[in-house]
Structure 1
Amino acid sequence: MRSLRTGALAVLTASVVALSMTGASAHDPDTPEGQAAARSFLADHLPADRHSVTGTADGVPCVDGKADIYPCKNVDLLSVLPLSAIGGGNGNDIWGWTDPSSGKEYAIVGRTNGTAFVDVSTPTAPKYLGNLPSNGGSSSWRDMKVYKDHAFVVADNISGHGMQVFDLTRLRTVTTPQTFTADALYRDFGPAHNIAINEETGYAYAIGSNTCRGGPHMVDIRTPKQPVNAGCVSEDGYTHDNQCVVYRGPDAGFQGREICFNSNEDTLTIVDVTDKSSPRQLVRKGYSGSQYSHQGWLTEDQRYFLLDDELDESSSSDKRTKTYVWDLQSLANPVHIGTYTSPATAIDHNQYIKGRYSYQANYQAGLRILDVSGVASGQLTEAGFFDIYPSGDAARFNGAWSNYPYFASGIVVISGIEQGLVVVRPNLDAVEPPPPGDKYENTTDVPIPDAGAAVTSSISVTGRSGNAPATLTVGVDIKHTYRGDLVIDLVAPDGTVYRLKSQNTDSGDNVITTYTVNASARAANGTWQLRVQDVYRADTGYIDSWSLQF
């Protein structure tokens, strides 16, 4: 949420001593919505929870809706490290790092008084390695991301904090908990509420800082220990959170451009930042029911954007958590096509999409996992959850702040404001997908040769009248190490090729996702092919299955 101005903070000091808020605000003047969010957050402060779960051989399975003390569905508990075991304070944001040399997985846990590093390679027995202290004081809002084996850390309401740069490879030799120092400190802004990084381009975006009118402050981090100011995105003022990508979505006019999708308090604001010296705002789009546009994430085909609003639960009649679905067929004209309403009544916070699922950290409702298979029709369904705050589901600021779902092992780490680090394992293979409708599927395994010729898998479609739809959904399940090596195409019966995925630098494993193409100019009947090529040596895999949904 957005932070308070210094004057407003003085009113709250007596009730929030444990959350020391030093320094000037990251933006001035503030909006009434931002002030309201921050006041509510600080008023809901509770002492840290000391509940711990570690050392169980296989974790605690979710049975009959419970794992240990926590309500759950299709998600098992592996461990809980309370804040007292990872440096104290209260929790805030979280991210992850996988050591490319060893494959070890690490959680990077933000706290009011610093940043903790935890080895979660044995997820039932996580190991605390040490703390990077906050630069200049305590803050309830700390955020971090990773690029080239370095963590980049910012904090709000600390006037001189800047951006800490920490070389994560230092963790390889740590055997006992340490107090670390930063490897570099970027000082061209002081406080910042959030940070986003486009790992493909090597640019960081500090947002909600005391520069750029609170909009994205761009930093060239391609040499991580020597960050360089790259400019401002300030046309629409304060940005609360964003995602910046090299665009490969359906709008042909922006293919290959670097595009930022900004949650700007009352709008979704889309900006072309390819030219850092002259960023171009493409659109700012509001929506019915907006109260505080907080954060969102793209589906993997970059066609849809899921947006969460941090204050709409408090103002709506049913009080339930809502996720706003945007169709980005045209970047200049995003369309709000549906709203998912959760059975929970908590505030939604940070969400990240991996494959078929959106992993949402929704404060008192904990981790909620949504199946996005029906996103083309504006529909989402709940696939699982893990409630780290079992005492309630009210629209208040307690419980799960954020999560990180991108580890190859399949674990998800959750940061709890009172709870600390919670490590879980979703069991989503058991989740039944939504009814398929007119769905055609091929489940024959097709090996993909290493650095070889393209292979194809076919689906024969018969008995349909007319052309394919403008939203033909292609479900892909490819098992392959280093998925960045893969080029994936859909080939229509008349030979038209739709590029689903290009080669990139993504080092993750497997491609398990859905793509949407506009095939309305092609006849539906005939043989459709999924064509896959591995364009670089050293990794292998196979097409497990794929499908067409009309």
Structure 2
Amino acid sequence: MLRPRLHAACASILSLALLTPGLMSAQQFGGPLAISGNQLLIGEGGNQTLSGLVYVFGEVDGTWSEVDQLQVTDELRQPDGFGRALDAEGDQLLVGAPIEGAAYFFRRTSGGDWVQEQALLGTEGGRFGSAVALAGDLALVSAPQEGPGAVHMFQRGADGLWSPAGQIDSPNQAGNGFGGLMATDGDHLLVTAAGAGRGAAAPVYAFRLEGMESLGELQATDLGDRSQYGAAVAVRDGTAYVGAPGVDNRVGSVFSFDLRGDAPEPQGRLGPIYVAVGASFGSSITATDSQLLIGAPGTGGTGALYAIEDDESVRIVTSPTAPRGASFGSSVALAEGLAIVGAVGVDERQGAVVVFDGAWDELGTVVNEARGFASITGDEIHCVEGQAALFECRDVNITAFVPIAEIGGARGTRVNDIWGWTDPETGIEYAIVGRTNGTSFVDISDPYQPVYVGDLPATPGSRIAIWRDMKVYENHVYVVADGAGEHGVQVLDLTRLREFQGQPITFDETFHYDGIHSAHNIVINEETGFAYTVGNSGGGETCGGGLHILNLSTPSRPVFDGCFADPETGRRGTGYSHDAQCVIYEGPDEEHRGKEICLGSNETALSIADVSDKDAPITISSASYPK
């Protein structure tokens, strides 16, 4: 029986590609937005691995094109968070770099170039620069992990330099995360803190900047669980707006408050015109002199933006070019007769920005070029003092590194899992790499010169999935994906890899099993020739998310052969299993020796079952996890 045995050195390198922090996280180009004159300023809200950039776009020969990049280091592998927060006012730009704990001031010259003028540094570990705001000669920079959190104030002097001008501390010294988001109209300031859990309402505090007077907390009622209250804030002329996109099963709402008195006074509640579960109305809020802009990035599957005029007329802005899952409306900036709307879901959350004129006529869409590390081939890179090339290491050398773009990936594609196969005739060893949009096959016989052989695209009509799992049996690979809709089990005869003649091949499935839709994982007992999909969902015979049993006696055509799920386990009492291992038991317990036993890593307990009789599998035992 052939078992996967990836060359140790090459396996470690492919693991680096999979596990380097942040490569699993989309960069989310188009989260932070600002406009200065005729230039668009765009950051990357999700970049955790590379040094940060702020992309500058301008109109060139009638087309919006990248004209500059702002950065504070030339080192690629230097995550600083630069560009996660930004605000522009006139020719001034303030950029936060919270991983580094800094904020940077830039000035736009008459020629349109940006010049860095000053850097501000916070205390180590305080995440100084997480949120920034400009209001004339006042600059505000938050540090939400500086104790319970703080907002630092800076005043611009006659020499153009910024000096400390005070600090606003969290009203709740027992809380944390004060300064996660900020908004100001020059007279008032809104600051959010951390909620009590995922999706929970976040405290939102209001201040009057003159005298740094605290006005109290902006509190809303009847929010329900996971309201995400405080996910977005804005303030204009003494009226505060707080987004709660999770309210009413993610329909979403925006709550308004009057700040002109001694304490915040609730004014009302805004909701979407098109009420739909998942619309997430209130995910972004921008208040301008004449409009209130509210994002609803889940509307209609692509997203929408509500533009509310002072006369209370409403325009619903959408983009006919935005693809499904674009999250159009996740951010917005409006100035100088231009509007830009973030669509951070485009290209697997790599992100895009849609450009409009002042009348909301679409002018185009801008994207950045996905960044990453250059390939490493030919020579072994030794791990010296914890570093091998750009990668951290310990007791492992690099024989090669292959970027995702060179193994079938497109803009935004990520990788998530790996398996292997050795051809019994040729001896060629292959890595089988799961991508969000398919499966790659790489010849790693020479671990210093990996060769991309081909691609098995994801099942047509299925959704992009970061959870893709593959296993091999009798020269066939079986591929499943989680949360992918009608994906099923893809089967490919691996001997087809022998067809490779130097150009990558796009393979068709040998067989498609549609008895399930999505699955979190697939397990194969090579001794018995049975496969087990687990974490099944979305349609077909899910078996409660437990073991969906497949007979592989004809490897190219798996056949359904039963279910097993332990209803005493799983969060919903269905026996949902995250992973499993099935073996022929050869241990000391004579009662079970020689039987096929499956150990299920279920949500709430370890489940142990005898699946020898596929028509009547039985629970042997279960054990809850330590707390």
Report TM bin, short chain. Answer: 0.3 to 0.5
**Structure with the larger RCO, 1 or 2 (CA within 8 Å, 6+ apart):** 1
**Higher Rg:** 2
